[in-house]
A and B are shown apart, each in its own frame.
Chain A
Amino acid sequence: MRVTFPHMGNLYIPVKAMLDHLGVEVVVPPPSSKKTLSLGAKYGPEFACLPMKLNLGNFIEARELGADTIIMAGGRGPCRFGYYAQIEHTILRDIGCDMQLIVFEPPERHFSELLVKIKQISGSRSWWQVIQAVRFGYQKARAVDEVEMAALKSRPREVTPGSTDTAQKEALHLIEAASSRSELTEAIKKAGAIMSEVKVEKNKPVVKIGVVGEIYTLLDPFSNQYLERRLGKLGAEVNRSIYLSEWVNDHIFMGLVKGMRSRKETCGAAFPYLRHFVGGHGQETIGSSVSYARSGYDGLIQVLPFTCMPEIVAESILPEMSADYGIPAMTLIVDEHTGEAGTLTRLEAFVDLLERKKETREALYS
């Protein structure tokens, strides 16, 4: 069995770590690229959203490298994602890429439901080993997130343009390469050192932007046209409403790890704008936006794949929330188009707006 799974930003680092730990043979698909997208768009239904097309492309490319089994997340509720595993499997069969499919449905009550699934693919491994593997993967997810957070902080303040990107690449590489817990502890230390070595202008005034929206396009730089990097280069410090480890804790561990931002809290903040689940991360988008506004952020950017229903619901609520809190908000819809000029213009104008607004506000109070 040679297992593959879809890309979503740096998700491959913890997933590969977990599967390696279990002794499962893993084929990581080549990083999502124009080729991945072309393949996905060619075989995927035209109406499906961008994440599905990229998943499909990832699987086709992984099969070329010898993968024969797919691990895919499931889901339920109004978002179409829950159905993608089955659809993708059928499409692959139709085009002659017959692959075995294993769907990780989100646990209903306890995360042990998922452990049972993981144990199935690991064959003869003991429960203890399964739990250790999940823990190892999770620790990598935390480490990856820490590197990303450090990059988001240093990028707008870096003295040499591009130095954050170089450091981030190097740090992630170290974390990826660690193959045992002791190696990982060492790698985390080194990665932290690399990130703090990026020369920054400490007192540079920067605007702070909260990025909210649909999880896939939020976590996957290829699909959001490298949004965070672009904003950083324009001089904005970015905070993302969902990080990988938080998502894992909320949806897989059912909130086992305490002391992190949690889904429950976020959704609570969405009251009174959106009181109930609308599928995907629609409610979280509104809740996170409110939280960002309350903690003094200068602006909000919502990212969503074209035709994403839950986020369309959130999009229509955002203007009211934005007016109530006096925080500018912008929506960025991503799809197959790769023309960067339009995105860049909007981002640049948005950062300009926030900067000018901040300047006037500060002039008033100083």
Chain B
Amino acid sequence: MNGYLGVDVGSVSTNIVFMDEGGVVFEAIYLRTLGQPIATVQKGLRELGGRLPAGTKIKGVGATGSGRNLIGVIIGADAVKNEITSHAVATSQVVPGVQTILEIGGQDSKIIILRNGVVSDFAMNTVCAAGTGSFLDQQAARLNISIEEFGEIALRAASPVRIAGRCAVFAESDMIHKQQMGCSLADILAGLCEALVRNYLNNVGKGKEILAPVVFQGGVAANVGMIRAFEKELGLPVKVPPYFNVMGAVGAALLSREAVARKGPSCFKGFRVSEMDFRTGSFECSGCSNLCEVIEIKEEGDTIARWGDRCGKWSSVVRREEKIS
């Protein structure tokens, strides 16, 4: 079987998908990044390599997510693209005619508006991460419930309490206040979902025209409480696609298919990447008072990439076959 790999290295999770040449997802792996993107991708590839039938040929690899440049050089990606483009490409394929994508991940949330199959507008959260997955995670941990049961509990709410959603600090102190007043856990969690949705629509969705079909994806879309809160606030049905939590990776795989068709054979280094020795090191450049932290990536002892310098003194030393955009 021939197919394409998509790797999405986010702040919280790392997702890898394998799709066949027709764009059908065969395997999807969802792992926590745990602050170690390289080791996590290696682990994921090892797992995926074991799951795929013998003789599978990887025709192209795409990388996305905030760790895309790092992972791109590690695995030899053909396409390295930002999350917005990847998500839009994936969703248009899975839900043809989609006009609005709501995406909430670990550290960022975004809204993508599509018209006639083309991205016409997008926005990402600007200066604050209130209302993203990390905050939900943290609150679930504080209340000693698992994030998986969060949504189910929220659905049981009789009358959701009102919680300030603008700032995570305000939200938390509101929640504690309500909890000490004796409100039920379900009401508090449902109130939190509503607050986050309000915050998202005001802060990220600011003034954008939200038209159906609306698709909700990203890790937080697993939370049925959030889906319900969005539907209530928008007055529109909200669709959660299969593979909602790996859509970025699906998009990256689709983009790699495009890239390979354009530029020829894949640069993928193969599943042996999971057994190779990668080391990253950093040093502070003392060339000027910017004191840039320069990151160096070594594969089996050879430096394959450097970045982090503002002036290009270090990164331009390493010759790269294709400029990473």
Q: Which residues does A use to contact B, with CB under 8 Å? A: 30-31, 33-36, 161-162, 165, 226, 234, 306, 319-320, 328, 330-331, 333, 335, 341-342, 344-346, 348-350, 352-353, 356-357, 360
What is the bound-complex CA distance between A160 and B85, given in angstroms?
A: 26
Across chains A and B, the number of contacting residue pairs, with CB separation under 8 Å, is 73
Residue on B with the closest CB to A235?
B325
Distance from B306 Cβ to chain A, minimum over Cβ atoms (Å): 14
Distance from A27 Cβ to chain B, minimum over Cβ atoms (Å): 15
What is the bound-complex CA distance between A265 and B88, given in angstroms?
A: 39
What is the bound-complex CA distance between A320 and B66, given in angstroms?
A: 31
Q: Are A33 and B206 neighbours in the complex by a CB distance under 8 Å?
A: no
Per CB-CB distance, the 5 closest pairs between chain A and chain B, nearest first, are A349-B84, A33-B289, A319-B207, A33-B290, A348-B82
Q: Are B127 and A335 neighbours in the complex by a CB distance under 8 Å?
A: yes
Q: Are A331 and B126 neighbours in the complex by a CB distance under 8 Å?
A: yes
What is the bound-complex CA distance between A103 and B86, given in angstroms?
A: 51
Chain A residues near B206: list those with CB within 8 A.
319
Q: Are A352 and B85 neighbours in the complex by a CB distance under 8 Å?
A: yes
6 contacts across the A-B interface (CB closer than 8 A): A162-B312, A319-B207, A328-B120, A350-B122, A352-B82, A353-B121
Contacts A161-B323, A331-B126, A333-B126 given; does A353 touch B120 at CB 8 Å: yes
Q: Are B310 and A226 neighbours in the complex by a CB distance under 8 Å?
A: yes
Chain B residues near A349: list those with CB within 8 A.
82-85, 119, 122
Q: What 11 new A-B contacts, CB under 8 Å, besides A33-B288, A35-B291, A319-B208?
A: A162-B312, A328-B120, A344-B82, A345-B83, A345-B124, A348-B81, A352-B85, A353-B120, A356-B119, A357-B119, A357-B120
Distance from A365 Cβ to chain B, minimum over Cβ atoms (Å): 15
Chain B residues near A345: list those with CB within 8 A.
66, 82-84, 124
What is the bound-complex CA distance between A342 and B207, given in angstroms?
A: 22
Neighbour of B108 across the interface among A33, A34, A342, A348, CB < 8 A: A342
Mostly helix, strand, loop or mixed at chain A's interface? helix
Chain A residues near B118: list those with CB within 8 A.
356-357, 360
Q: Are A36 and B127 neighbours in the complex by a CB distance under 8 Å?
A: no
What is the bound-complex CA distance between A36 and B290, given in angstroms?
A: 9
Q: Are A341 and B122 neighbours in the complex by a CB distance under 8 Å?
A: no
Distance from A363 Cβ to chain B, minimum over Cβ atoms (Å): 11
Q: Are A352 and B108 neighbours in the complex by a CB distance under 8 Å?
A: no
Neighbour of B121 across the interface among A30, A328, A333, A352, CB < 8 A: A328
Chain B residues near A31: list those with CB within 8 A.
288-289
Residue on A with the closest CB to B289?
A33
- Interface assignment of B316: CB less than 8 Å from any CB of chain A: yes
Chain B residues near A348: list those with CB within 8 A.
81-82, 85, 325
Distance from A61 Cβ to chain B, minimum over Cβ atoms (Å): 8
Neighbour of A353 across the interface among B119, B127, B289, B325, CB < 8 A: B119
Chain B residues near A344: list those with CB within 8 A.
82
Q: Which residues does B use to contact A, with CB under 8 Å? A: 66, 81-85, 108, 116, 118-124, 126-127, 206-208, 288-291, 310, 312, 316, 323, 325
Residue on A with the closest CB to B107?
A342
What is the bound-complex CA distance between A36 and B66, given in angstroms?
A: 28
Chain B residues near A162: list those with CB within 8 A.
312, 316
Chain B residues near A346: list those with CB within 8 A.
82, 84, 124
Residue on B with the closest CB to A328?
B121
Chain B residues near A342: list those with CB within 8 A.
66, 108, 124
Residue on B with the closest CB to A339?
B66
Neighbour of A34 across the interface among B66, B81, B291, B312, CB < 8 A: B291
Contacts A162-B312, A346-B124 given; does A352 touch B119 at CB 8 Å: yes
Chain A residues near B291: list those with CB within 8 A.
33-35
Distance from B237 Cβ to chain A, minimum over Cβ atoms (Å): 25
Chain B residues near A352: list those with CB within 8 A.
81-82, 84-85, 119
Q: Are A333 and B127 neighbours in the complex by a CB distance under 8 Å?
A: yes
Chain B residues near A34: list those with CB within 8 A.
289-291
Contacts A349-B85, A349-B122 given; does A36 touch B310 at CB 8 Å: no
Q: Are B207 and A36 neighbours in the complex by a CB distance under 8 Å?
A: no
Distance from B323 Cβ to chain A, minimum over Cβ atoms (Å): 6
Chain B residues near A357: list those with CB within 8 A.
118-120
Chain B residues near A161: list those with CB within 8 A.
323
What is the bound-complex CA distance between A328 and B115, given in angstroms?
A: 13
Distance from A217 Cβ to chain B, minimum over Cβ atoms (Å): 14
What is the bound-complex CA distance between A162 and B323, given in angstroms?
A: 12
What is the bound-complex CA distance between A35 and B124, given in angstroms?
A: 29
Chain A residues near B121: list those with CB within 8 A.
328, 353
What is the bound-complex CA distance between A162 and B313, given in angstroms?
A: 11
Chain A residues near B81: list those with CB within 8 A.
348, 352
Distance from B318 Cβ to chain A, minimum over Cβ atoms (Å): 13
What is the bound-complex CA distance between A345 and B66, given in angstroms?
A: 8
Residue on B with the closest CB to A318?
B207
Chain A residues near B208: list those with CB within 8 A.
319
What is the bound-complex CA distance between A346 and B83, given in angstroms?
A: 9
